[in-house]
Structure formats: C-alpha cells, structure tokens
Structure 1
Amino acid sequence: MVAGMKILLLSHPLPADPYLHALRRARPHDEIVVWSRDQPVADWADAEVVFGWRLPAGVAQALPRLRWVCSVAAGVEKLLVPELPAAVPVSRIVDPDQALGIAQYVTAMALRFARELPRYDEQQRERVWKRHPMAAARHRVCVLGQGATGQEISRMLAACGFEVQGWRRSQGRPLHEALREAQIVVCALPLTPETTGLIDREALAAMPRRSALINIARGAHVVEEDLVAALRSGHLAFAALDVQVNEPLPPDSPLWEAPNLVITPHIAAQSSVHTIVAQFAEGLDALEAGRPLPRLIDRQLGY
C-alpha cells in the first residue's frame, strides 16, 4: 500500500462531506481527519497539511509536523492566525468560474443602479406605466482590488460601457482621491488588517453624492453603521452587499431596514468542490515531489 499524507480538514462552517468524498476519490491513500471541537487532539496532532476555511484558536500550535496550509476559498484571512509558524506556506484557490460569477453579480447590481431599475419596481407595485428615458449607462466605476476577481469585474463592466478604473493599495494613489471620481465603487479587496474598515464614514463621504457602493469581498471591509447612515441621509443612492460582518445576518441588523440597499446571503459566486479539491490535490502532488507549491500567498501582505 502506498503511504499518503495526513490531512486535517477544517471546512466549518461549510459542510465537510463534499470535500471529504472528493478528496478520497482524488487521493485514496491519504488519511483525512475532519476536525471538530470534541475530537481528541491526538487524533489530528500529527497532520502534515491543513485544508480549510479557518484555523480555530489553539489548532496551529498543536500541529508540530505542519508543512502546508491550503484554503478552501480565495480568501485566506481566517487561516492567518498569529500562532501559525512563519515558515509554513499558505495557498489559496483561484477559480476562474468564481471570478466570472462574481463579475456577473457586480454587473447586474451596477446596471440595476445605473439604469434606475428600482424606480420601475416601485412603479410596478403602484401599477404605473411611465417611461423615464435615459442614455446608455457610462458611469465611472472604481474597482478596489485588482486581483483575478477585480480584473474580471473590470473587464465585464467595461464591456457593458462603464468607464472603469482599478485601484490597489500598492499603487500609492490615495483611496479618497480615487473615490471622489467614482459614481460606482466596487470592493474586491482581500481582507487584511490594513483593509478592515476601509470603507468608513470618511471614505463614504469622499464618494460623490448619489453614488453607489457594491461589496462582494468581505463584510468587514465596510463599517456597516456608517453605510446605513450614508444611505439614510441620501448621500449614497444605492448599495449592494453580498457579504456582511455577521453571517448569517441577524434579524435585528439595521441593514435590513436601510433604504436602497440590496442584501444577498453571500451568493455572488461559489467555487465548485471539484475545482477546489483538484487544485488542492495538485498542491499535494507538488509537496510530495518537492516542487514549488502553487497559488502561494504572501503572508506579509495577507494575499
């Protein structure tokens, strides 16, 4: 029998079974342990690889043989815990179909705002048949973040006639300067300590009056109480949040009653389990062969 690796699967809150079944098909010789809080540490302490969504407190320091951490998603912020040894490499998933799906969601929301479709929703409820002619939408859009997802969003919006500019922290241009020129702002940034709370009261105030915000990155990029205030005051005309700070969004969240806000439950796009496991298996092959690991992130930058 061929000896395999011991893998600790930490997919919670995502269900473990789809990953477990796909992994067993792709890597039948590996030992896979699904982590749970009630499980004895001895069952998983000798794992060499972590495949997961987040590292709960105390897990990383209990893995002395850990050689590699791979995210089950594009984001890695929930895996970059302080106790993870600096020498352990971390990879992420890059799914072109996920980037395409997110770009479609953003484009749908941008067009909903730019073509004033909520006006016609209201007219339909009131049984009013009235035209409001407008030219083709050529709004100025600023896409924050120019990774694979941000680039796909920019490409699709440009194809629909929007005037798109990308922004990334490394380019040195002040954020508020970029925001002042945008009628629509799209957040596609990785979540890092530097980008947490980046879209706050000051950033929203820098955006033009009656502009729009679309967030498909992470809920913590946006200070939600500041967003609600900007919508209630009329400074922002529209916002769409596919991600929120607390998911599931509690019934008593002020977001539910904020005017001109579209809330969706983190459904802009989902990577397929097949793609995720195939990329993870590719990394395991590289680890066993001593080749460079694919899709590594820069731990200093957080992405």
Structure 2
Amino acid sequence: MADKFAVLRPRWPMLAVALTVACAPSVAQDSRSPIHVHRVATGNLDGLKNAIKLSVEACRAVKNLPLGAPVSLPSDTYLAKLAVVEAKEYFDGANHATYHTVRRVAADPASGTCQLMLFHERSGWAGQMCGSATKGSSTSINKLLDYNRPEPAANQVDTVAAPRKGCGKKAKTYDVTGLPIENAGRASCVWDSDIIAKQMRAAGLKAEGHKKGSPAADFCLYARQPIYVHNGHHELVVLKSSGSTEGDALDQLLGENTAYLNDQLVDFSDGSPIPAERFSAGAVRSFVAQPAKTPLGEH
C-alpha cells in the first residue's frame, strides 16, 4: 500500500541529503507489541453549514425546485461533533490494517425534496506488511453527490501484493531523544517535523521543527515507538496531525480541509491483544459494504 500520508506530508527538499550524510542511526528491531490507534477530525462549522446549503441549491436546480428557500440545517452541536474524517489503525507483528471513513451532510440526489442525509466514503487495507493483503473502497462521496449524474453506491475489494519499501532490509530507528514531547490525550507523541529537523541539523543543515499554527501538514508520532517495524519495512504510528487552515478560502466554503489536517486521538492501546479478524479480508469487505448514506444522527 502506498504511504497513506503522502498527500499531506510536508515536502523537505534537503531531507534525502540529510538522511544520507547524518550520523547513521541504529537499526530498528521488529516491533512486538500490538498497537491500536483511533483518530477522528471535525470540520470548520461555518464551512460545513455553507456546503450543505450549496448542496441543497444544486439539488433543487437539477430537480427544478424553487431556489433560495430556507434550508433546515442540522444543529450546530451535531455538525461540530461530526467525525468528518475517521481512521482506525492496527499493528500486530507482521500484520497491519487501516480503516478510513469520510462523512458529509448533503442533499440526497435520490430525494424528490432534496432531503438531507449523511453520506459515507470508506476505504480499508488489511494484511501483512511484507506479504499479501486485501484492499477495498466504496464509491466516492463526490460521485455519489453528482446531482446531474449521481453514481450508485458500490464497493470494490481486491487482493493485492504488498511489495513494501524496505522489506527484507534493515530499518533505521527514529531518534526522538531530546525532542519536545506533546500530549496527544491518551499517549505522548513527537512531531515528525522535529525528528526530520534533528536529522538535518546533525548533517550540518539549517532546519526548523514543528511550528504551532503553521499551514504545513505535520504528524505527531507515538513517542515510545514512532515507527512500527516488520522485516525492514516501517509504518509511522501517527497519534494526531496539525495544519492551520486560517485564511483558507476553500475551508471557509466547504469546511472539510480543517478535518483533513487536524485529526485527534480518541482511543489508543499498546500491548492489548488485537483480534485476528481485524487483519482479514472479511473485515475489509464488511467495512466498505456498509451503507453509503444514512439518516442524520447515524454514524
């Protein structure tokens, strides 16, 4: 599976140089302790409300309904607590699984009155880090909400090989010694940018670490074990993320960018057994086969 954070990860032009010439870190041993991470993120309230109104007007226009009539919005409390983005991640030896959900309140294209519904887009990956796995996804929200030609809800599940980077080689430890520790709520974490900056400074390069309020995407990694390693391949153990959307016009318009950049830890375990079913093909199939739309209030 491709790096699940590649789209959001900040770009560091000198990173490759830094990692090459810095003092060589020690080899990371295979991880043993099972880890479970559950993150959620809420959206920009004003943007979410505006997006709902836009969806209703788009729906009305296609159905030749009167435009400009008031829209009965969900309560501010409901929208402020809505998990716009949710991720559950599991690590256990050779096994790894991720289950990701995006949610949006919008007018239902199938409704003659443009009734509001809660739409869901899901993707999952479960299997072995250096072996085979099952990958699944449901129809994207944007395709479900194309008011001119909405696509029906469907899902796709495939068995895939996992030629993960580093498999069969030696992974290097992430040195967090001396770095600021952040409280993620249920565990402590260290910002990825601080780790990278430390590596770059060790190579004689100028670098700054995490900056609160920066628009750059950053990830806070589990302080005790920032990477989960198996057979040379490693995955980041992300507890939360950050990225300021202040002044972001699209976030003000639709309200979702905030969620993609600022997820928070809501549940965490280290050392507790994880059911083998979490890493199965059946779990992925069941996850992506859940309803694509539900009444408001049902997650």
Q: TM-score, normalised by structure 2?
A: 0.29
Q: More helix per residue: 1 or 2?
A: 1
Q: More strand per residue: 1 or 2?
A: 2
Structure with the larger RCO, 1 or 2 (CA within 8 Å, 6+ apart): 2
Q: TM-score, normalised by structure 1?
A: 0.29
